[in-house]
Amino acid sequence: MNTLIDPLKRIARDLVDKKLWPVAVLLLAAIVAVPVMIGGGSSSEEAPAPAAVAAVAPAATGSKSLVTVVDQAVTGKEARPGRVDDPFYDPPDPPEPASSSDAAPAASTGGATTGGATPSGDAPAQTSPASPATPGSPTTPAEPVASSTYYSTVVRWYSGAVGKAHPIRRLTPFGGLAETTALYLGVTKSNGNHAIFLLGPNATSAGEAKCSDDACRVFGLKSGQTQVVTVRAADGGAARAYKLEVVRVSSVPANAAIARKMRARVHADGRDAMRKLWQDAATAEALRPIQYDRYTGLLVKSATETRATR
């Protein structure tokens, strides 16, 4: 340090002796500034580090619970499709609650670890592109699998004294073929099994039944329910009232062959009675959307106008 300052001091004294003191003042100021500048630089080997910028780390995927939105099936009466008392309406099962495993995020693949880092010393795994699927030959839709059960309906039909309970086949005509008061169509599934009946053109009914149409031409009764059916005489005589009581509607387990045979059975006069009832416009309109599923043994409503109940 002195080796730098001593020559400057000598130069300053010479300038003062020669009356060049303004130059000496500037030189003296330089002498004072030199050690300050040199001393500031020599006290520290490194420049001060800039202030660290706080990094906002993204929230971990699993740090917040995932909200799973489940479309709840509408089973309230206000929003149900069709009429509220339709015996063909089968409400959907309530949705199952979402489990904790369903809400957990899926594990990442391709060699990535938590936080997106690659394991030390390992290169990221390379995923080969999937080869395009080769179109196969067109397949024929598989035939529905037939149920291994059939349905049995036991009823009482009487006018005076309580009648005897007896099982009935599908398309059993009540009142006979000549004047069919009601026709048994089969079973449907709607909050339990219903036995479904079609009224003849001259009949009306009242009681515990659920109706499929506004005029209640097609109605359903569950086990233990009763409906009073009133029929006007074709010759203009007094009307007659009958009680239709469904004693039991049940599904019967059987092997596939027996179940298929029992589902195909109909009353001997059933198809003829159906053809006669089809001639009446109001009765045919109520009957038109009803379809018999021979694979399940159940009646369903179809948008297609067909005589599938035959």
Contact 87, 191 (CB under 8 A): no
C-alpha dihedral sign at 152, 272, 143, 212: negative
Predicted confidence (pLDDT) per residue in 227-254, tens digit = 999 998 877 778 999 999 999 999 999 9
Q: Per-residue pLDDT tens for 143-153?
A: 677 889 999 99
User: Stretch 273-289: mean pLDDT, rounded?
Assistant: 92
Domain edges within the chain: 2-40, 149-301
Scan for tokens 């045979």, then name that residue.
261
54 vs 271, residue with greater confidence: 271
What contacts 35, CB < 8 A, 6 or more positions away?
A: 1, 5
> 257 — phi, psi (to 5°)?
-65, -45
- pLDDT reported for residue 76: 33
Residue 310 confidence class, pLDDT cut points 50, 70, 90: very low
pLDDT digits (tens, 9 = 90+) for 162-212: 989 999 999 999 999 988 999 999 999 877 789 999 999 999 999 999 988
- 129, pLDDT greater than 70: no
Cα 232–chain centre separation: 48
**pLDDT tier, 14 (very low <50, low <70, confident <90, very high otherwise):** confident
**Percentage above 90 pLDDT, the chain:** 39
Angstrom distance (rounded) from CA 171 to CA 151: 13
Decide if pLDDT at 258 tops 80.
yes
Q: How do residues 57-111 score in pLDDT, each as one tens digit?
A: 444 444 443 333 333 333 333 333 444 477 887 777 667 676 655 555 544 444 4
Confidence category of residue 35, pLDDT binned at 50, 70, 90: low
For residues 19-25, average pLDDT? 65
Euclidean distance between CA atoms 175 and 177, whole angstroms: 7
Q: Which residue has the higher pLDDT, 260 or 237?
A: 260
Are the beta carbons of 168 and 196 closer than 8 angstroms?
Answer: no
CB 198 within 8 A of CB 277: yes
Look up the pTM and report it. Answer: 0.58
Residue 34 has pLDDT above 80, yes or no: no
- Using pLDDT thresholds of 50, 70 and 90, give the confidence band for residue 307: very low
pLDDT at residue number 242: 95
- Asked if residues 229 and 208 have their Cβ atoms less than 8 Å apart, the reply is no
**Residue 114: which pLDDT band, with cuts at 50, 70 and 90?**
very low
pLDDT of residue 140: 63
Q: Is 55 helix (H, G, I), strand (E, B) or coil?
A: coil
pLDDT of residue 241: 95
Environment class of 263 (CB within 10 Å of its CB; exposed 0-12, middle 13-18, buried 19+):
buried
Residue type, 231: V
Please report which confidence band the pLDDT of residue 261 belongs to, taking 50, 70 and 90 as the band edges: very high
More confident residue, 77 or 271: 271
What's the pLDDT score for residue 33?
63
Q: What is the per-residue pLDDT for 160? A: 87
The model's confidence at residue 10, banded by pLDDT at 50, 70 and 90, is confident
